[in-house]
Structure formats: structure tokens, C-alpha cells
Structure 1
Amino acid sequence: MASSTMSRWLRPEVYPLFAAVGTAVGICAMQLARNIYTNPDVRVTKENRAAGVLDNFSEGERYAEHGLRKFLRNRAPEIMPSVNKFFSDPN
């Protein structure tokens, strides 16, 4: 029974599926960790939860304007700029 299960799921055709699911799980775990550790609205410890609602706008701004957003802010929304320029330039 175990060998038939292993031969069914450990084929080379299944590796892209494992990679896609692993990438999705990794992105979800990264976002969960980011929210738990850096989100100003999430309070895990009892002392922080007792503080109630805080008006911490600067901390919220720091959370919302993270490094990736700052990096991408002044860039064109293109995935492959060289290909786009090749097909869109009339030269």
C-alpha cells in the first residue's frame, strides 16, 4: 500500500504541483508572520491587549508603507519592460 502511494505521488510530473503549493504556503506563512509581528492592530500578549484602542498613526503608517511598496512606488507597472518596449516602440 505504501509503495503504491509513493509511486503515485513522487513522479516527476507532480514536482511542479509541489513547487506551486509550496510557494503558496510560503507566501501565506510570510504574510501571517508579518501580521503577527509588525501589524499595530494585532496584539498577541495580554499586556498589549489591555491597552485598548490606540491612536498610533505613525506606527500604522510605518506598517502600511513597507520597503517593497516604497521600492515599487516610482516604477512602471511592467513585468518585462524590454519586451513591452520592443513591441510598443515604432522604431
Structure 2
Amino acid sequence: MAPVNRWLRPEVYPLFAAVGTVVGICVMQLVRNITTNPDVRVRKEKRTAGVLDNLAEGERYREHGLRKYVRNKEPQIMPSVNDLFSKPE
């Protein structure tokens, strides 16, 4: 059996998918922090400004689109199944 066939078995595909998803989420968060976080300054011109009390910029970073979307949602993954088993008839 060749060494390549040892790793590319069909049983390993879900593991590759899970690891790929996690790596993608990590990269997305790192890019988000570098580009939009008010506490991170990559350019030298912005670093010389020191600590800024820019509350509007911090509020924009904190209130991102996902947070706005889930704000008024129920904290359940499958509400219909939870209601079926938890609420009496």
C-alpha cells in the first residue's frame, strides 16, 4: 500500500472537513481582528496615536452582523424538537 493511500481513505474525509472548518473559522477571526479591531494597529502611523477613547469604533466592532442577527433569537438549536419534548400538550 502506498503512503498516499494510507491517508486518503474515505473514512478520513470527515476529519479533513472538520479540521478545515475549524481552520477557516480561526483564519476568519484573525483577519477580522487585524482589520477591524480598534485595539490592533498594524500601520506605524496609527500606532503612534497611543490609546484612543474612540467609543464609536469600539461599538461598531462589538456589534457585528452575527450578533445583531442572533440578538432576538431563541438560544436553541432545534426549537421545534425542544418544544415537542418539553411542553405539555
Number of equivalenced pairs: 89
1:36 to 34, 37, 52: 34
CA RMSD of aligned residues (A): 1.0
CA shift at 1:74, angstroms?
1.0
Which residue does the alignment assign to 1:4?
Answer: 2
Q: Which runs of 5+ in 2 are unaligned?
A: none
Question: What residue ranges of structure 1 are gaps of 5+ in the alignment?
Answer: none
- The correspondence of residues 15-30 of structure 1 with structure 2, limited to 5 A, is 15-30=13-28
Using the size of structure 2 for normalisation, the TM-score is 0.95
- Cα deviations across residues 22-79 of structure 1 (Å, max 9, x unaligned)? 0010000000000011100000011011111111111001101111111111111000
Distance in 2, matches of 1:70 and 1:46, equals 33
Indicate the residue corresponding to 2:47 in structure 1. 49
Compute the TM-score of the two structures, normalised by the length of structure 1: 0.93
3-state SS, counterpart of residue 2 of structure 2:
helix
- Distance (whole Å) between structure 2 residues aligned to residue 55 and residue 90 of structure 1: 52
Q: Whole-Å Cα distance in 2 between the matches of residues 17 and 75 of structure 1?
A: 31
Q: Secondary structure at the match of 1:79?
A: coil
Structure 2 residue corresponding to 1:83, chosen from 74, 81, 84: 81
4+ residue stretches of structure 1 with deviation over 4 A?
none
